[in-house]
Structure 1
Amino acid sequence: QEGGVASAFKPTRANPGPGPVPKLYQVKGRRKIRASEREPSWSSFNTGDCFLLDLGQTLFVWCGARSNVLERSRAQELAAAIRDSERAGTVRLEIVVDGEEPPEMVQVLGTKPPLKEGNPEEDVVADESNAGAAVLYKARMWQDTMVSDATGRMDLTQVAAGSPFSQSLLCPDDCFVLDNGAGGKVYVWKGRKANEQERQAALRVAEEVIARMGHPPQTQVEILPQGRETPLFKQFFSSWK
């Protein structure tokens, strides 16, 4: 599923409902802020972080009363990037203050209960875990000419451990795996000059990474051809041009 997300072992099907499936992202940290997908429920919220609720046609940026100014800025930047790069600037972006939730949010999440209290010290811990939660690998497929295309051997070479990475590490001649299994997602980046065998094996590469690293089978996979990178992928790089 190019440019999209699927479970590694159970690719998602089209949503049968009348609208898009709500998505919730937690934005947490102080110096190395990352957005991670969470269950769209009030139980995922706390007063110390910011959250982005994506309803398809509306993006709500909810800021906890104890969230820091950098989290608030990063959450708004992420929402704007999704609006502009993935939705052609056609969706509404709304900033929500803790305690002033609009009816549209309540309709999706239900009545707001008392939330977990946020602790600013957790942001310092999050900086450390965010940096080490992503590893970048180069993936190479080696084909045995005596067997079918489905049984080639894959080699993974670690390129960098700990984000943010440099965009220059992504060579157009190869495919790369950004393993953020700790955050519930593995990305496969396909260089435009990579050989066809490697490009076609993208999902299989991700499945093997998930199995090798012992990530849960529900870990999501996002396959990204060069030039179609998402804001959530770009957040792992120090800058993006």
Structure 2
Amino acid sequence: MLKGKDYDWQDSNLALFGSDLERNVKKAAAETEQAWHGCGQAVGQEIWRIEKFKVVGWKKEHHGSFYSGDSYIILNTYKEEEELKYDLHFWIGRHSSQDEYGTAAYKTVELDTFLDDKPVQHREVHGFESDLFKTYFPAMQIWKGGVDSGFRHVKPEEYEPRLLHFSGTRKNIVVKEVELLKANVHSDDVFILDLGLTIYQFNGKTSNKDERMKANQFVTELKGKRGKAKSEVLDEADTSKNHEFWKALGDGERTSSKADDSDVVGFTPVLFRLSDASGSLEMTKVAEGQKFEKPLLDTNDVFLLDTGHQMFVWVGKGASKDERAKGMQYGHNYAMKTKHPFVPIARIGEGQHVPAFDSMFA
């Protein structure tokens, strides 16, 4: 499987969404997938990685760690009034191949079918994850590489140097592996330079205590696994440019970045209807504004709500088979044409409640 440039898959129309292949998946077929057996029976997260078209369980000790070259399926099971409910996410790595994310999308639909269409489905893109997704993992760790990289057990002195970027607040600290460049280290956050036997924690001038604490915990865990490794905490203001930390980093333009909201500043939320009442499937604008009237949501159709920061596909109970099947595909294709193509997309069935969606309606 070839790995492309950043988000190389974005030009695809995510063809498996809404195809006959996708929607003809029956529960009987879903039950033949061994990975689904026994899932969704207890509160918590279950994760699978797509490995050469197969769904492979992701061990508990690796939860919160993702490879940028892979795609994953995440099932979050929770209880509400003694009833089990679900949020079902597929996560697309920045360098995931089309066959990987296509399989993840297809298998997400299959798992939804297996769970009797009870889950709320979510599309998550590397670097643009929803707030809900981030709450599952106190410290997300995103590594370079993919299935072929695996979790290799090597001696500390054989480790390839890596630079880790810690950013966020107490509940949502994200850890990303970034290029070993001086330009990638800045004052806003905390960075760890892992040289195998020597580990440096660099605290930026304006980094917060949560980032520093999480990085410190990470270093402690690394040292515990490696035994003879040593560490040093560096404060930006007191660290010379001649320090070994800086000497280990190369020159070049900054490559690490946070999700940028600049493209949606001043964006006016818009609501579309997806209907085949005319004989062919059409998507038309219904309204735009900061709030919408609930009666606009017709039970006989599918609606797409774009807030600029997130998109929702709402499926009415009376929607036709084609409308139901094509909702997520239309949402993905629409997103690809906007200035915010990677925002989270959630598919909600009528009667299901998602606070971020409900709050948009008066």
TM range (shorter): 0.3 to 0.5
Which of the pair has the greater relative contact order for Cα pairs under 8 Å at 6+ separation?
1
Query: TM-score normalized by structure 1?
Result: 0.45
| Higher Cα Rg, which structure | 2
